[in-house]
Amino acid sequence: MELFSRSVELVAIPRGTPRVEDFRIVQTPVPPLGPDQILVRNAFMSLDPSMRIRMRGEDSDYLAPYVVGGVLDGFSVGTVVQSTSARIPVDSLVRHHAGWRDIAVVDAEGDSWRQPQVIEPTGIRRAQEYLGPLGPSGLTAWAGLLKVAELRPDDVVFVSAAAGAVGSMVVQIASILGNRVIGSAGSADKVDYVRSIGADAAFSYRDGDILGQLRRCAPNGIDVYFDNVGGEQMAAALELINARGRIALCGMVAGYGDEVMGQLPGNLFSAIAKGITLRGFLARMYAECLPEFTDQVSGWLDDGSLTYRYSIAEGLDSAPQAFIDMLTGRTAGKALVALP
Ligand SMILES: NC(=O)c1ccc[n+]([C@@H]2O[C@H](COP(=O)([O-])OP(=O)(O)OC[C@H]3O[C@@H](n4cnc5c(N)ncnc54)[C@H](OP(=O)(O)O)[C@@H]3O)[C@@H](O)[C@H]2O)c1
């Protein structure tokens, strides 16, 4: 019997916030496997702000742009149902990069960051954790805080988008390690959540006066800013960061839909005057830290010191709206789509 895959295509380059009309679901026959390939039935797919950057249709040194009329991709977890790979047998659970579809044909070998990784859930470990705290989002938080910002014991940390997939882990890692941590998010509910996972102080940027709110949360300034959003929050962090402070440039989601993305804050000069280090990074630059990261974060998950929240939409048809919901702050924790 012929097998069909349902997948999501980009129909048009979105302007500003994407609309569901910018996407469409298509059904195509699944080709027979070639050498060294696997057929995966996806269980969960990840929704990431960086996908919005890839929808801008611009070549950049970040990630390859999506193509109008082409199927989207991204991290996903699923079960191997056919295999011509010696490394990956049938029934393996794998994380791979052919998301945005229910059934995927994937090359078993390739780029080391994106190639399928066999994952081994234990009795207490669920498949979605490999897209969340033990996945790229988790590595981003862990590496950004510990390797990029080089967190020190007495640092006061500020993190934006603190209720999200990356930010909620930054809050918890800093708190577990005994640092004072301040988080910002986009609603009162999210602020409560950020406090509940260990932030010493939190505020909603939607209440305005970001600089004043941050100053009240950090009367002695901040030493590390983990930047997930850019814009006004970056400017406030630059204003209040102490001499020799460090800024981990993780993402600038506030500007991904802007005509010109990644505008510099007007007060960047203070970085010179205060000797601030601003360091950009991609999680995949820290792939060699995966064993150390996995060990440490698994330990925190297992002993309950780190918890994790998901917003899970059901079914591929809901993926475009779920993506928009994630970008516009209507999800908390890691945004996923469950694929039955
Ligand atoms: N460098 C890397 O390798 C890497 C890897 C993964 C992610 N990232 C970056 O890390 C950041 C967080 O990613 P994530 O996966 O954890 O996403 P997320 O925080 O779970 O979801 C995005 C959140 O951003 C917030 N947001 C949207 N527009 C905003 C605006 N104008 N101002 C302030 N906040 C806004 C929204 O939450 P609110 O309700 O709080 O507004 C939204 O829910 C993104 O910038 C992403 O590109 C970088």
Q: Distance, CA 229 to ligand 1 centroid (Å)?
A: 6
Instruction: List residues near ligand 1 (CB under 6 A).
Output: 48-50, 137, 140, 161, 163-167, 185-187, 190, 205, 228-229, 250-254, 281-283, 326-327, 329, 331, 335
Q: What ligand 1 atom has the least distance to the C-alpha of 53?
A: 47
Q: Distance, CA 289 to ligand 1 centroid (Å)?
A: 23
122 to 181, 302, 340: CA distances (angstroms): 32, 11, 21
Q: 0.95 cut: is pTM over it? A: yes
- The confidence score (pLDDT) of residue 215 equals 98
Q: What is the mean pLDDT of the segment spanning 23-44? A: 97
Name the closest-CA residue to atom 18, ligand 1: 164
Q: Which two tokens mark 192? A: 């409560």
3-state secondary structure of 168: helix
Strands of the sheet with 241-249, listed across from one edge: 201-204, 180-185, 156-159, 222-227, 241-249, 277-280
Quote the mean pLDDT of the chain: 96
Q: What ligand 1 atom has the least distance to the C-alpha of 333?
A: 20
Using pLDDT thresholds of 50, 70 and 90, give the confidence band for residue 63. confident
Burial of residue 73, with CB atoms counted within 10 A of its CB: 0-12 exposed, 13-18 middle, 19 or more buried: buried
Mutate to test the pocket of ligand 1, among 131, 166, 172 (most ligand atoms within 8 A of CB): 166
Q: What is the mean pLDDT of the segment spanning 253-273? A: 92
pLDDT per position as a tens digit, 110-134: 988 999 999 987 766 788 999 999 9
3-state secondary structure of 140: helix
- pLDDT surpassing 90 at residue 306: yes
- The confidence score (pLDDT) of residue 120 equals 83
- The confidence score (pLDDT) of residue 176 equals 98
Comparing C-alpha atoms, which of 63, 52, 65, 42 is closest to residue 22?
A: 52
Using pLDDT thresholds of 50, 70 and 90, give the confidence band for residue 60. confident
Return phi, psi of residue 339, to 5°.
-115, 110
CA 107 to chain centre: 24
3-state secondary structure of 28: strand
Contacts of 151 (CB under 8 A, 6+ apart): 145, 157, 174, 177, 179, 224
Name the closest-CA residue to atom 3, ligand 1: 282
- pLDDT surpassing 80 at residue 35: yes
Q: What single-letter DSSP state applies at residue 117?
A: E
* Residues β-bridged to residue 107: 37
Which residue would you say has higher pLDDT here, 331 or 120?
Answer: 331
- pLDDT surpassing 80 at residue 1: no
Name the closest-CA residue to atom 43, ligand 1: 329
Q: Which two tokens mark 5? A: 């895959």
CA 132 to chain centre: 8
Using pLDDT thresholds of 50, 70 and 90, give the confidence band for residue 217. very high
- Cβ contact 337:315 at 8 Å: yes
Q: Distance, CA 263 to ligand 1 centroid (Å)?
A: 16
Q: Distance, CA 64 to ligand 1 centroid (Å)?
A: 19
Q: Distance, CA 101 to ligand 1 centroid (Å)?
A: 23
Residue 299 CA to residue 105 CA, distance in Å, equals: 34
- The region, left, alpha or beta by phi > 0 then psi within -120 to 50, assigned to residue 16 is left
Name the closest-CA residue to atom 2, ligand 1: 282
Q: Distance, CA 190 to ligand 1 centroid (Å)?
A: 13
Q: What single-letter DSSP state applies at residue 283?
A: G
Q: Distance, CA 89 to ligand 1 centroid (Å)?
A: 35
Q: What single-letter DSSP state applies at residue 98?
A: B
- Cβ contact 45:337 at 8 Å: yes
Q: How many residues are there in the chain?
A: 340
State the first-to-last Cα distance of the chain, in angstroms, to the nearest integer: 20
Task: Report helix, strand and coil shares of the chain as percent, to nearest 5.
Answer: 30, 25, 40
Name the closest-CA residue to atom 11, ligand 1: 228
Residue 57 CA to residue 316 CA, distance in Å, equals: 23
Task: Provide the 10 A C-beta neighbour count for residue 301.
Answer: 19
pLDDT per position as a tens digit, 195-215: 999 999 999 999 999 999 999
- The confidence score (pLDDT) of residue 262 equals 85
Please give the share of the chain, as a percent, with pLDDT higher than 90. 92
Q: Distance, CA 236 to ligand 1 centroid (Å)?
A: 17
